[in-house]
Chains A and B, each alone.
Chain A
Amino acid sequence: MNAFLKDLEQTAADLRQQANAFAADQRQDDADLTKIRANIYEICATIGNVVRKMTPEEQREAVYRKKLEELPRNWYTALEMARAHGNAQRAAVEELKLEALADVLARFEGRKEG
């Protein structure tokens, strides 16, 4: 799990760097949206680190998976609401968050297989 969490932290750091590059390139909205993606990787890494410290080893995977699955509940609701009200900008933000989380989950499951 250590390597996986380090990988998430690295992705967040890369995205922050990319956000700074966007901002310097007069692409402020891209920068802001990239920061949102970085936040998701950071949140997932933080949750992972807490689970690693607080949970017995044999339960870690299940607990972490459950926490990741619970995390986007409000995002789905927000996405549905945004779509229902034609709020494309908010919908785009929620989609980005969900995509980032899906990537984290895929990496987590991939790590298990490997």
Chain B
Amino acid sequence: MTEERVLQLFKCLADRSRLRIVQSLLREDMYAERLAQRLGVTPATVSFHMKKLEEAGLVTSRSEQYYTVYTIRRDELTLPLVELIAGASDQTSEQERREAQYRRKVIETFFEYGRLKAIPAQRKKERICLEEMVRGLEPGRVYTEPELNEVLLRFHEDYCTLRRDMISEGLLTRDGGLYTRVE
């Protein structure tokens, strides 16, 4: 298990509500409404916690009639703590980790459901967003301008600025009205 994953697991469990949910699910499978009653919170709040527990790999869910029933993943919880901690591998340097974290934050801030909310004013941030969008282009494929515009329009209405900035940032090449993603 990676160090990030172990940290996510511990962060997820460092919350009394989620700890109580796990305790309840260790006794029996349960649906959100029942868990909400036990915790004294709304079902929407329980859904919020369940998503975090699912992301941490601690629970799975299935649909039963009108309800979503949650089950604990016992295999994850029976791992000895010492093995979990000692086995947490981390091959990335501190610098790489910081950069990845910054990149993730920029993407979370400027994108919503895959669309760019606004073109960042700061060049470094814009570069990150452009890199993210250029991944939407197939490597090696030659795009005509209308084809490229169609792809960029999925991200933001100002596709002209995106196209121009991708070229100036060296992420895209233009040759006689044909565009190719730079590898």
- Which A residues fall within an 8 A CB radius of B? 25-30, 33, 81, 84-85, 87-89, 91-93, 95-96, 99
- Bound CA span A23–B15, Å: 10
Do A27 and B48 touch across chains, with their CB atoms under 8 A apart?
Answer: no
Could you list 8 further interchain pairs (A-B, Cβ under 8 angstroms) beyond the known A33-B45, A89-B51?
Answer: A27-B15, A30-B17, A30-B41, A33-B48, A88-B50, A88-B51, A92-B45, A92-B48
Residue of A nearest to B17 (CB): A27
- Which B residues fall within an 8 A CB radius of A? 14-18, 39, 41-42, 44-45, 47-52, 112-114
Q: Which residues of A contact B39 (CB under 8 A)?
A: 30
Residue of A nearest to B115 (CB): A81
The secondary-structure label for the interface of chain A is: helix
Known contacts being A29-B48, A30-B45, A96-B42, is A85 close to B113, with CB within 8 Å? Answer: yes
Do B49 and A29 touch across chains, with their CB atoms under 8 A apart?
Answer: yes
Q: Which residues of A contact B114 (CB under 8 A)?
A: 85
Residue of B nearest to A32 (CB): B48
Do A88 and B47 touch across chains, with their CB atoms under 8 A apart?
Answer: yes
Do A26 and B47 touch across chains, with their CB atoms under 8 A apart?
Answer: no
